[in-house]
Structures are given as C-alpha cells and as structure tokens.
Amino acid sequence: MAGLYDELLVLLHGIWSRRWIALGVAWGVAMLGWLGVALIPNSYESKARVYVSTQSLLEDKVGITQVQSQQELERVRSTLASAKNLEKVVRETDLSQGISGPRDVAAKISTLRENITVMSQADPSMIDISAVSADSSLSDGANARIAQQVAQKLIDIFQEENLSGDRTQTKQSIAFLDEQVAERAKQMEAADQRRVEFAQRYVGLLPGAGSISQRMDAARMEINQIDSQLVQAQSALSAMNGQLAGTPQSLPGVGASGGPSALGQAQSNLAGMRARGWTANHPDVIAAQREVDALRRQGGGSAGGGGGTPNPAYLSIKSMQAERAATVQALSARKAQLQGDLNAMMARQVDEPGIASEQEKLDRDYEVLKTQYDKLLADREEIRLRGEVKSETGSVQFRVINPPSVPTAPTAPNRPLLLLGVLIVGIGAGVGVAFAMGQLKGTFPTAARLERAIGLPVAGSISQAVSATQVAVEKQRMKWFAGASGGLAAVCLLLIVVEFVQRGMA
C-alpha cells in the first residue's frame, strides 16, 4: 500500500511540476471548445396538440365505419409532410424571405421535413405537432417566431385536409362518375339499338323474349301444350257430336190427356241426362235409351200426338258443339302458325349458322354494359351521400387543445451544460498532456526507481536547496498560476451567464 501511495505522489508531483503546460493546454482546448459551442445555432421548438374525433351515428348508418374514418385521418397525418404541403408552409410563413428561386424552395422544404414531427398519442384522437427552427443566419427571436408559424400552418393544413378536403374530393369523384355514367349510357344505347335491329331481322318471327334458341324452345313448348289442348278439344267435340246424333231436333205433340206422350217424355229425360254431361256408358243413360227404343218400336210416340216443337236440349248441345269446333279450329290455326315460324327460323339458322352466336354476343355486351352502368350509379349515390354526411353534418370534431406558442427558450443545444463540459474536457486534456510528458522524460524522481533502473544500490540522495529569492519567485508564480486558473473558471462562468441573459432577451 505504501508503494502505491508513493507512486501516486510521484505522478502528482510530475503533473504539478508541469502545471503551466497543463494550464496552457486547458486554456487552448477550452477556448476552441467554447468557440465551437458558440457557433452551434439555437434550436427553438413550437409544440401543439389537436383533438380529432370521427364518431358519428349517421356515418355508421351510411356505411362509414370508425375504422375507415380513422384510416382516413391516418392518411392525412402521414401525408402532412408531403412536398406540396411543405411548399405551402414555406411560402406562407417567414421562411419565404430570402427565397430567390425553386432551388431555395427545395432546400427549405428539405430542411423543414427534418424539423417537423407529427405523431399520434396512445389515444388516436390526440395528435401532437412540433416544429423546430435552427437557422444560424437568423436571430433567436426570428427562429422562435418561425417555429410557431410553421406549427400553426401545419394545424391549418391538417384541418383543411380533413374538413374542406373531403368536399373537394367528393366533387371530383362525383364529376368523374358522372362522365363514366354518361359514357356507359351512350354505349348502352348503341348496344340496345343493335339488338333492336337484330331482332327486327331475325327474332321477330317468334314471340317472347330472349335469345333465338330460347325463343325456339319456348315455341316448341307452346306447340306441345297446344297439342295437348287440341286432343282434349277434339275429344270434347266428338262427345258433343255423339250427343247431338242421339238428340231429336223436335219433340212430338201432346197426348189426348193434355200431357206429353210417353215417347216424348222418355226422349226429354234422355236429353236432360246427356245435357248434364253423362256419357253413353252411364247406367241411367243406357236405361233411358232402352226405354226410348222400346217406345219407338211400339209406336207409343204417335198416340194422341199433334205437331212437334223444337227440342231445347238439341239446341243447347248444338251450341256447345259449335263452341268446341271453334276451339279446335283456333288451336289448329295457332299450332300451324307457330310451326311455320319455327320452320322458317330453323331454315334461317341452316342458311346463316352464326345468327345465334351473334345474338348471344349482343346480349352479353348489353348485359355487361348494364351491370357497369348500374354499379356506377350506385357508387355515385353512395359517394354523394357519404360526402354530404362528412361535410354537411359536421361529423369530424376538430379542436386545438394546446395552440402553438412562440418558444421563449431554445430546446437545443443545452449550452450551459456544454460550456461546463468543455471546461472539464480542457482541464482533463491539460492534465493528460502533463502526465504524458512526465512519462516520456528520462528522469528518476526517487532513489528507489534509480536502483531498479541501474541494478545497483544507491548510497543516498540530496534534496533540492531553495534560496529565499527562489522562494519569493515561486510564490509569485503560484499567484500567477492561481489567477490564470481562476480566470479559466471565471470565463466559463461568464459565458454561462451571458447565455442565460441572451435567453431572457430572446
């Protein structure tokens, strides 16, 4: 431990013996460092905080979700530092002073992009905007004022992009969609005209709507239905003919007792059964027919008879027969017409095999255009409604929580701390130089170190003898050293005081 203590004393004695060198180096390093600190321009920062809320019940009703609104705000926040917006900031603040051309504007924009910050807090509705101005060619007051102007302009642009920007974007989108709707309408009109011309040439032969193949299929189905109806109508007509053949046209006269004859009564009963729709196989009809036949063979229909009268049953069946015959004729005519049109269209398809494909192409083009037209109309109405909700109902709430104020103190650099740090570095540099010179000089401060160096015992050492004159000179030098050292500390303190004074003046 004693050896370490002795070594420490030797080192301190070596540094102290070269104290003037250490003090000179400290003064030199400190002066250079203080000059560098003085050349660092002050940075003034202006901060602001805004609150943006996009919560709206009406927006949810029209399909604008909270996530979409927040994404829109995030887009505006991320594009706030675009070249276009920064050019607005440069031209509408004091940064425009001294600009002589596009090159100066580009340089200002590049510097400004590095000195502004737009960031969201934990609450996405809170957005912080900060701007820094550190132009060495301007005074502290000018830098502070520019920082406040830049922050305020960024707030104005942010509000403009969110509020009035929606209206401009909506108008542009609607104008574009109007042009597209008008163009699609013209294309649809032309496509529909081509379809009409094609239908007049080829498809007009068959009824209904759709393609040629669809119309032909519909015609075939209708013919099949007509065939079924025709069979039923012909069966009904045959039944009417059978009933009409078995019904007398007139009834015999009345008998001697003033009532109708037996034959007339039997025929009337039979006609009534057939009028009700009973067939010849019905048991009652068979019995009545047998009774009529028996009375005719007996000649019972002429006893006491007078002149005959028209048979009402016969007239009714005759009318029904005419109706059934007309139905059969109408169905046959309709079938013949459809069959003829179908044969004509099949002949055209044989002569011109591309008719069906041409019609399919025309219909497909028209449907595609109609689908696009309907979608464009829906999109236009949706955008118009969303734009009105955003711009007219005030769904975006924008408030400035902390307005940007003119900063009164620079945020960087921390000049007092730098001045003190330079002083410490200067002192350390001086001590280091003195220590290095002590290590490089070939002297032996103690007898023990000399013994270790030469390997021989040292008989003794003679201390330095100092005269009274030398003592007086040494005291005077100590006063000078103390004054020079105190002057170094005083200069550092003076620079710190000047810095605080300048801050107060700014």
Question: In which element (H, E) is residue 400 found?
Answer: strand 397-402
- CA 428 to centroid of chain Cα atoms: 62
Domain span at residue 308 reads: 215-359
Whether 89 and 150 share a structural domain: yes
pLDDT in tens, 87-117: 888 888 888 887 888 888 888 888 888 888 8
pLDDT tens, 424-439?
999 999 999 988 887 7
From residue 212, alpha-carbon distances to 113, 225, 237 in Å are: 68, 20, 36
State the pLDDT at residue 211.
58
Indicate the DSSP class of residue 469: H
pTM equals 0.46
Got the DSSP string for 35-79?
A: HHHHHSPPBEEEEEEEEEE---HHHHHTT--HHHHHHHHHHHHHT
Same domain assignment for residues 259 and 296: yes
In a domain, 368, yes or no: no
Asked, for residue 185, whether it belongs to a domain, the answer is no
Instruction: Say yes or no: 15 and 73 in one domain.
Output: no
Looking at the structure, tell me whether residues 15 and 58 fall in a common domain: no
How wide is the angle at C-alpha 347 spanned by C-alphas 341 and 352, nearest 5°?
125
In a domain, 487, yes or no: yes
Residue 237 exposed, middle or buried by CB count within 10 Å (0-12, 13-18, 19+): buried
Length of the chain: 506
Q: What are the pLDDT digits (tens) for 462-500? A: 776 667 888 788 889 889 989 999 999 999 999 999 888
- Cα torsion 385, 387, 391, 395 to 10°: value is 70
pLDDT band at 212 (very low <50, low <70, confident <90, very high): low
Tell me the CATH number at 63: 3.30.70.1130
Task: Taking residues 26-51, report their average pLDDT.
Answer: 89
Report the candidate in 221, 222, 216 with the shortest Cα–Cα distance to residue 350. Answer: 216
**Are 26 and 55 contained in the same domain?**
no
Q: Is residue 408 assigned to a domain? A: no
In angstroms, the CA 380 to CA 173 distance is 8
* H or E element, residue 399: strand 397-402
In a domain, 171, yes or no: no
Give the DSSP letter string of 236-247.
HHHHHHHHHHTS
Report pLDDT digits (tens) over 386-412. Answer: 666 555 544 456 678 888 888 877 787
Instruction: Say whether the peptide bond before residue 413 is cis (omega within 30 degrees of 0).
Output: yes
- Residue 204 lies inside a defined structural domain of this protein: no
Helix boundaries (H) for 246-354? 262-275, 283-298, 312-351
The verdict on 232 and 341 lying in the same domain is yes
- Average pLDDT taken over every residue of the chain: 76
Instruction: Let me know whether 124 and 225 are in one domain.
Output: no
223 and 350 inside one domain? yes
Say yes or no: 429 and 462 in one domain.
yes
Asked whether residue 200 carries a pLDDT value surpassing 70, the answer given is no
Residue 219: pLDDT band (50, 70, 90) is confident
Number of folded domains that form the chain? 3
Q: Which residue has the tokens 């070269």?
A: 18
- Is 282 a domain residue? yes
Tens of pLDDT, residues 314-356: 778 878 878 888 888 888 888 888 888 777 767 765 555 555 5
Q: Is 371 among the domain residues?
A: no
The residue among 402, 434, 467 that closes a domain is: 402
Angstrom distances, CA of residue 362 to CA of 130, 185, 207, 208, 213 = 62, 16, 19, 17, 14
What is the average pLDDT across 192-198? Answer: 75
> What pLDDT is recorded for position 437?
83
Same domain for 151 and 255? no
Mean pLDDT, rounded, for 245-259: 58
The reply to whether 14 and 56 lie within a common domain is no
**What confidence tens digit (pLDDT) does each residue in 230-250 have?**
888 888 888 878 877 777 766
What percentage of the chain exceeds 70 in pLDDT?
72
How far is residue 478 CA from its own chain's centroid?
Answer: 80
Looking at the structure, tell me whether residues 143 and 244 fall in a common domain: no
